Amino acid sequence: MGTLYYGGSATPIHIEDRALAHLKVVIASKLRRHEAFTVSWPHCDDQPRGRTTIWLHPSIPLRFEFEEPDPPPLKREWLEELANSAHSAGGIVLVPELFGAEVLPGGGELPART
């Protein structure tokens, strides 16, 4: 289980390592272009029903921690789905992994969006 630390909040956001790795690539691509956006996800089964949304901005500190020392292989279709949602009015919505999708070796990176 990975952890996302956002802003000055001491409250960790727990996200499965593989999902967090995909999210990290898309978030880094957006923040590198100085774009602000939202990220939303449904609450885990052990939390009250609902979902959480955070506002990400390049000036707000962000840290990703992974349980596994080696990055997992990334799937192009899942990255594209997350990136497409990042460019929508609703922001990134953490969606379930798309199975059977192409895996990018070495952690991959999305091409710049024009």
Amino acid type, 78: W
Q: Which residue has the higher pLDDT, 68 or 98?
A: 68
Do residues 11 and 64 lie in contact, with contact meaning Cβ atoms separated by under 8 Å? no
Residue 13's pLDDT is 87
Do residues 75 and 101 lie in contact, with contact meaning Cβ atoms separated by under 8 Å? yes
Residue 63's pLDDT is 94
Split at pLDDT 50, 70, 90, the class of 44 is: confident
Do residues 61 and 7 lie in contact, with contact meaning Cβ atoms separated by under 8 Å? yes
Q: What is the mean pLDDT of residues 69-82?
A: 90
Residue 95's pLDDT is 66
Q: How many CB atoms lie within 10 A of CB 87?
A: 12
In this prediction the pTM is: 0.78
Do residues 41 and 94 lie in contact, with contact meaning Cβ atoms separated by under 8 Å? yes
Split at pLDDT 50, 70, 90, the class of 56 is: very high
